[in-house]
Amino acid sequence: MTQTMRAARLHAVGEPMRIDQVERPVASGTDIVVEVKACGMVPNLGNVLANWETWYPQMPLPPRPAIHGLDPSGIVHQVGEQVVSLKPGDRVYVNPGRYCGACHACSSGHPQACQHWTLGGYFGYNPKSLEMFKRYPYGGFCEYMLAPQAQVVKIPDNMSFVQGSRMGYLGTSYAALKKCGPLVGRSLIINGATGTLGVGATIFALAMGIGKIYAVARGDELLARLKALAPDRIETFSNWTGSSAEFVRARTYGVGADLMLDTLGAKAPLDSMLDAMRGVRRGGRIVNIGGTAGELPVDVKWWMDEQMELIGSVWFTAAEGMDIAAMVESKVVDLSVMEPMVWPLEEINEAISGVTKGDGGFTYYAVAI
């Protein structure tokens, strides 16, 4: 007998999501079914639903009616006959990254380089993403979802399901910091430091031994709150008051910081990113994980002469999610400095429109199922 479940679905652009009764998925093979308890609400979801197909037509959305929801956490409900190491009752986070699993990139542990790379419940990166949406049509805004076992991360008892639903942004920041190389004793500019990615990057950089963080953002109030996390290791600067590059160089004897992370959101001005880049020392490394888009007017001779590295970093692997779960379990990182704002599934549309009401990256948003 077919069983059903509640799911929030988008039927058409410009319309609110509807709570529908749809067929519940069934696990088979190496897939599992997770009973969703919470799903993160992306602050940019409203823009994605309304504008993505105009802004980035080469990056497909899931076919409508679509179940969105990027960051689900919950309990394993059912496992396929070829699943190993997962069982019903396990507390888990579902990494929404979807990929073929068979190409060189996937086999070497770099699934984001797969030609099928897709963020389930959010958007794809090329036309091949439509195949991934067909295989895994469930985002997290539903009661049960199908997921590949390779993308399921067990979470510890001291991580709530709502905290687990923040894993996407935490993992994105953590993966980018790993691309920076060893952090112990080094200096790091975080551009957009009080935003959703920036706060997570600050927490993990501190845990990973960073010597000094130059936190660049706009508002003084949130910058002060960020500095309070480690007053001796964080210096803050509001780029409303001048050049962040000049600020950093003035505090590094004119040399600049070793590293930079750009975490600015969609439609943020590229001038801010370019200015912060000028605060990085010769031979430095710059990693971009933000949502800004457009042509960046970088002087390629400066790039060559200064031996700069500019790296793009998308999302994170399940293994990196396991690292985060271990750090939370051992209390190396404390997620309680961030506060959740939670809506029930029936208020999904209020949640989409309510994600600007918090305190920058110190507030995270979730839908409870």
What's the whole-number mean pLDDT along residues 223-229?
97
Contact indicator for 242, 189 with CB cutoff of 8 Å: no
Q: Is the pLDDT of residue 48 over 90?
A: no
Both 230 and 282 in one domain: the answer is yes
Q: What is the pLDDT of residue 315?
A: 96
The three-point CA angle 152-165-321 to 5° equals 45
- For 33, phi and psi rounded to 5 degrees? -115, 130
Both 126 and 256 in one domain: the answer is no
Distance CA 75, CA 91 (A): 5
User: Per residue in 131-170, is it b (16+ CB within 10 Å) or e — as a string?
Assistant: ebbeebbbbbbbbbbbbbbebbbbbeeebbbbbbbbbbbb
In a domain, 59, yes or no: yes
Q: Is the pLDDT of residue 50 over 90?
A: no
What value does the mean pLDDT of the chain take?
95
Total-model pTM: 0.95
What's the whole-number mean pLDDT along residues 46-63?
89
Q: What is the pLDDT of residue 348?
A: 96
Q: Is the pLDDT of residue 53 over 90?
A: no
Both 186 and 154 in one domain: the answer is no
Q: What is the pLDDT of residue 266?
A: 76
Distance CA 239, CA 247 (A): 9
Contact indicator for 95, 153 with CB cutoff of 8 Å: yes
Q: What is the pLDDT of residue 292?
A: 86
In a domain, 164, yes or no: no
Last residue of a domain, one of 297, 312, 327: 312
Q: What is the pLDDT of residue 159?
A: 97
pLDDT digits (tens, 9 = 90+) for 167-193: 999 999 999 999 999 999 999 999 999
Domain total in the chain: 2
In a domain, 167, yes or no: no
Both 146 and 182 in one domain: the answer is no
Q: Is the pLDDT of residue 97 over 80?
A: yes
Both 153 and 183 in one domain: the answer is no
In a domain, 72, yes or no: yes
In a domain, 107, yes or no: yes
In a domain, 36, yes or no: yes
Helix 318-329 and helix 167-179, axial crossing angle in degrees, nearest 10? 100
What's the whole-number mean pLDDT along residues 36-42?
96
CATH number at residue 11: 3.90.180.10
What's the whole-number mean pLDDT along residues 25-33?
97
Both 9 and 155 in one domain: the answer is yes
pLDDT digits (tens, 9 = 90+) for 265-302: 877 889 999 999 999 999 999 999 998 888 889 999 99
Q: What is the pLDDT of residue 94?
A: 98
Neighbours of 97 (CB within 10 A): 24
Distance CA 255, CA 160 (A): 43
pLDDT band for 355, please (50, 70, 90 cuts): confident
pLDDT digits (tens, 9 = 90+) for 304-314: 999 999 999 99
In a domain, 116, yes or no: yes
Strand partners, 31: 148
What's the whole-number mean pLDDT along residues 85-93?
97
The boundaries of the domain holding residue 121 are 4-159+335-368
CATH number at residue 203: 3.40.50.720
Both 132 and 271 in one domain: the answer is no
Q: What is the pLDDT of residue 45?
A: 87
What's the whole-number mean pLDDT along residues 318-326?
97
Q: Check residue 161 and report its DSSP letter.
A: H
Both 189 and 282 in one domain: the answer is yes
In a domain, 317, yes or no: no
What's the whole-number mean pLDDT along residues 111-120?
96
What's the whole-number mean pLDDT along residues 143-165?
97
Q: Is the pLDDT of residue 210 over 80?
A: yes
